[in-house]
Amino acid sequence: MNPPGSSPTEILVTVLGGYLGAGKTTLVNHLLRRSDQPIAVIVNDFGSIAIDADLIDAHDGETITLENGCICCSMVDGFAAALDQVLAAPVRPARLVVEASGVGDPAEIAAYGHGPGLRLAGVVTVVDGVRVRKQLRDEYIGDTVAAQVVAADLIVANKADLVVDPGLVLDALAARSSAPILAATHAGVDPELVWDLPRVGKRTLTAAPASSRFRSWSITSDEPMDRAKTMELLAADAAVVRAKGVVRFVDAPEVRVIVHRVEDDVTVTEAGQWRGGASQLVFIATNS
Amino acid sequence: MTDKTMTEDAVTDIRESADGESGSGAATVVYPAKRVITMNPANPFAEAVAVRDGRVLAVGTVSEVRSWERPGEKFTIDTRFENKVLLPGFIEAHSHVMAGGMWEMPYVGFFDRRDPNGQVWTGCGKFEDVEQRLIEADREMTDRGDDPGEILLAWGLDPIYFEGDRVTRHHLDRVSDTRPIFVYHASGHLATVNTPMLERAQITAEATTPGVSLGPDGQPDGELQEPPAMNLAREAFGKFRSNLAAPGAMQNYAREARNAGHTLVVDLGTSQLIVPEQMERWQASTARDDFPCRAMVALSSMMGGPSNLEDLAAFGETLKDQETDKLRFGVVKLLLDGSIQGFTARISWPYYYDAPEGHPGNGQWLIPPDQFADIFGAFHRAGLTVHTHCNGDQATEVFVRAVEKVLAESPRPDHRHTVQHCQLTTKAQYKRMAALGMCANIFSNHIFYWGDQHRDITVGPERARGMDACATALREGVSFSIHSDAPITPLGHLHTAWCAVNRLTASGKVLGEEECISVKDALHAITLGAAWQLKLDHDMGSIESGKLADFAVLEEDPLEIDPVRLKDIAVWGTVLGGVPQPAGT
């Protein structure tokens, strides 16, 4: 599905940020595995990429041909050269995932997502739920991690199963960003929630506080959800500009349902078998 | 060195002597000089040096060196240097091969700069100078029959020093409103293009890429800020980048180095040696007889390589076996932070003095600090000398801590790991570096080129006075060299030494006189100091019996003149492995 206003020939670019060890590559693997669309991957530093072997078709020097026909390559020779490699692959990707380095500012990479034939479809920052509070206070990396959080349109708070104080983690992240926060284990976020995000994060390379134009929240449920109540939730707040979710309902717990709200239009699509995990919904609303 | 290359050098040497004044064809040449400054503390000054098989046979008085002549031998006396001063060939331990590639394009910078032909390009002090130079370049392109649509590329624009408006497409349209023009700024962060370039690249007011600057009329004004925006003019930016790696780049780099008295330049982390074509290009270039300098090429981890760090380190170990007389290996380059003038160096509290509005508060890491010890450790264990770019003191701290940690786990005597740039390294850090056996390569050219900005804007007066602290390194016992980081600043060790000695900024003010060093110490830094950190001091860095016959040939004696004139000493050229290499050839 293309976001409103995009041309079908444009490649949709999602930038993944996050400090060393947060789980960016785990998320890349998860997106490749779970998405039906052809996805190409550009990594900042080839040394850091660890694509799962079953997703790889061929490994040729510094380029990996993925099982989906697209490629994974590094941007050591610059973004333009990497993009050339991506476009030369046998399969033209619908989406391009660019993994920033562990100390990279994803806002900086996102600037490339506006080039000809490209459209930026969001910045996703993965944080290590166990370590992020300590990291944010660290003299050496605190500002680096904070910049990654500030740039995000969506935050994946990973390693949720190991976090003992989730409320404090949420507070630390929400103090810096109005982006929706999704708790995850092994970066297991449904791709539908990752793609095509409205812009919430900061894009200029400055320390200006994140936009306060938006507020956001998310709902996670391990149990199937009540259909009527969910529809009510989706429609309730007039200030919501965008909501999306991958959920299962009590009346059909084996069916994967994707729900969207764009301005006031709510759509509900059944999308095959439930794939396990929790139902998740994210909401982004204006702050006026 | 292999026997084969030694023989080749000797042959060249004989040919050179045969062309000389005596014409005897003898294999030993004696060069009497006004003075030989040997840098060998046991024998610091001499009258003459005798050269055989590319090496120094003897240095001393003329009669002392001639006393090596045996019955049946005939020494050639070559008097071409009798009014000149010989020093050990200068060693630039931190520069980049792009320094040569830049000269594929016209220079429009603010400061005078000498090209590989020895020609001085006078600085462009105002936009009209830039315009005039570009008009000439445009005319040259037309005269040699280039397509009218061929892009005119230029480099070095430094409008920070110009009075009046910013440089925009309207200025460049005065040069040509038909040929696309792309001018790369000295900072490396900006490019300015003309209207035909904007049209060719279809850059419009609708561009959503950050960094496409708009003028008062709401249209792009031609300034493209940072690489994502510069990439929009992809054809031009691509051509600019490929020029930097043009076949002539290596040759020009070596010629420019030779012109300034260098006999060894280190390309510190620009080349991807693991890519066979790049390795072959270095091998082919340096194998040419007319390649007028030795080159050491660092292994780089940031510019590609196998995904496995241990593989890259293992590859680095094998490089030593591929060394030739003029192509050396043995060091690896890592990068920890950005630049001070770009506010991207990692510095400690109280951070930047007067950072631009919206600055994030500190600089950028290029390697996660927690990962650095692992990366460093892989190369340390492979026996390589690790040279790490650390502009800010937080970066130095991460490097020094990694050395402390890894040395405790994997002891290795005499590693000579080197802090590169070392601009804000503190006295306490220098003490630890000394204790660990680390070296420093200090970016003293910054004092002149950005010293005023460092005092007034980036780090403030106190830290600026103490930056690039050669005297502290000396006092604390850290072996050090100094460098240009060419093409960031021009390649030329007399200028670099002048900066360390005088610490004068571009506005003529002394920045931190307590950190000034003597001319003698500066000469040590650019010869033996550099040779030591490259593990070549047994073979280079001083003029003494048995070492390579690599000399810098100067028109004046740096120890006799007013130190403030150090940078103005004319360089005749070099002697490389016994072969005279006049500048500008």
Contact A206 B370 (CB under 8 A): no
Contact B301 A47 (CB under 8 A): yes
H or E stretch covering A41? strand A39-43
Contact A79 B308 (CB under 8 A): no
> What's the complex ipTM?
0.84
The count of other CB atoms within 10 Å of the CB of residue B435 is 13
Per CB-CB distance under 8 Å, the chain A contacts of B308 are 47
Residues B463 and B564 placed together within one structural domain of the fold = no
Instruction: Nearest by CB to B228, from A19, A20, A112: name it.
Output: A112
Q: What is the pLDDT of residue A208?
A: 42
pLDDT of B8 higher than 70: no
Owning domain of residue B454: 328-540
Beta-carbon contacts below 8 Å between A and B:
95
**A48-57, B11-20, B541-550, range with greatest mean pLDDT:** B541-550
pLDDT of B23 higher than 70: no
The CA distance from A114 to A101, in Å, is 20
Per CB-CB distance under 8 Å, the chain A contacts of B237 are 80
The count of other CB atoms within 10 Å of the CB of residue B450 is 22
The CA distance from B475 to B490, in Å, is 28
Residues B488 and B562 placed together within one structural domain of the fold = no
Residues B76 and B35 placed together within one structural domain of the fold = yes
**Structural domain tally of chain B?**
3
Q: What is the pLDDT of residue B357?
A: 83
Contact A207 B358 (CB under 8 A): yes
pLDDT of A244 higher than 70: yes
**Per-residue confidence band for A204, with pLDDT thresholds at 50, 70 and 90:** low
Residue in chain A nearest B309 by alpha carbon: A47
Domain final residue pick, A203, A235, A270: A203
Reported as a single tens digit per residue, the pLDDT across B138-179 is: 999 999 999 999 999 999 998 877 877 788 999 999 999 999
Within 8 A by CB and 6+ apart from B569, the residues are B494, B554, B555, B556, B558, B561
pLDDT of A45 higher than 80: no
Cβ of residue B328 closer than 8 Å to a chain A Cβ: no
How far away is chain A from the Cα of B55, in angstroms, using its nearest Cα? 41
Q: pTM of the predicted model, to two decimals? A: 0.89
**Residue corresponding to tokens 């190369």:** B379
Share of chain B above pLDDT 90, in %: 80
Cβ of residue B211 closer than 8 Å to a chain A Cβ: yes
pLDDT of B475 higher than 70: yes
Q: What is the pLDDT of residue B21?
A: 41
Residues B382 and B458 placed together within one structural domain of the fold = yes
Q: What is the mean pLDDT of residues B422-437?
A: 98
Residue in chain A nearest B212 by alpha carbon: A111
Residues A60 and A142 placed together within one structural domain of the fold = yes
How far away is chain A from the Cα of B222, in angstroms, using its nearest Cα? 17
pLDDT of A5 higher than 70: no
Reported as a single tens digit per residue, the pLDDT across A122-160 is: 999 999 999 999 999 999 999 999 999 999 999 999 999
**Per-residue confidence band for B24, with pLDDT thresholds at 50, 70 and 90:** very low
Inside any domain, residue B304 = no
Q: What is the mean pLDDT of residues B210-237?
A: 90
- Report the range of poorest mean pLDDT among B187-201, B505-519, B539-553, B560-574: B187-201
What distances in angstroms separate CA B550 from CA A197, B371, B392, B481, B528, one per listed residue? 62, 40, 34, 18, 12
Inside any domain, residue B311 = no
Residues recorded for chain A: 288
Beta pairing partners, B571: B554
Q: What is the CATH number of the domain that holds A244?
A: 3.30.1220.10
Q: Which of B370, B374, B390, B401 to mutate to test the interface with A (most CBs of A within 10 A)?
A: B370
The CA distance from B519 to B500, in Å, is 9
Residues A23 and A85 placed together within one structural domain of the fold = yes
Q: What is the CATH number of the domain that holds B213?
A: 3.10.310.70
Q: Which long-range contacts (CB under 8 A, 24 or more apart) does B309-318 make?
A: B309/A47, B309/B374, B309/B375, B309/B378, B310/B378, B312/A47, B312/B274, B312/B378, B313/B378, B313/B379, B313/B381, B313/B382, B313/B384, B314/B382, B315/B273, B315/B274, B316/B379, B316/B382, B316/B384, B317/B382, B317/B383, B317/B384
Residues A194 and A241 placed together within one structural domain of the fold = no
Per CB-CB distance under 8 Å, the chain B contacts of A62 are 304
Q: What is the pLDDT of residue B306?
A: 53
Inside any domain, residue A4 = no
Q: What is the pLDDT of residue B247?
A: 77
Instruction: Nearest by CB to A103, from B228, B368, B394: name it.
Output: B368
**Per-residue confidence band for A211, with pLDDT thresholds at 50, 70 and 90:** low
Q: What is the pLDDT of residue B301?
A: 67
Residues A242 and A183 placed together within one structural domain of the fold = no
The count of other CB atoms within 10 Å of the CB of residue B420 is 32
Joined tokens for residue B51:
């050269």
Contact A20 B370 (CB under 8 A): yes
Residues B433 and B568 placed together within one structural domain of the fold = no
> What letter would DSSP give residue B483?
-
A-contacting residues of B 292-311, CB under 8 Å? 301-309
> Mean pLDDT of all residues in chain A?
88
Inside any domain, residue B291 = no
pLDDT of B304 higher than 80: no
Contact B241 A78 (CB under 8 A): yes
Please give the residue that has the higher pLDDT: either B355 or B540: B540
| Coil vs helix vs strand at A248 | strand
Joined tokens for residue A131:
């370590």
Share of chain A above pLDDT 90, in %: 56
pLDDT of B28 higher than 70: yes
Domain final residue pick, B184, B217, B243: B243
Joined tokens for residue B518:
């003597």
Per CB-CB distance under 8 Å, the chain B contacts of A123 are none
Q: What is the CATH number of the domain that holds A43?
A: 3.40.50.300
Reported as a single tens digit per residue, the pLDDT across B83-95 is: 999 999 999 999 9
Q: Which of B209, B315, B347 to mutate to test the interface with A (most CBs of A within 10 A)?
A: B209
Cβ of residue A77 closer than 8 Å to a chain B Cβ: yes
Q: Which of A103, A138, A148 to mutate to test the interface with B (most CBs of B within 10 A)?
A: A103
Contact B238 A80 (CB under 8 A): yes
- Report the range of poorest mean pLDDT among B10-19, B98-107, B396-405: B10-19
Inside any domain, residue B236 = yes
Q: What is the pLDDT of residue B181?
A: 98
Q: Amino acid identity of A272?
A: G
Residue in chain B nearest A139 by alpha carbon: B348
Q: What is the DSSP string of B301-360?
A: SSS---S-HHHHHHHHHHHGGG--SSEE--EEEEE-B--TTTT-S---TT--SSPPTT--
Contact B307 A49 (CB under 8 A): yes
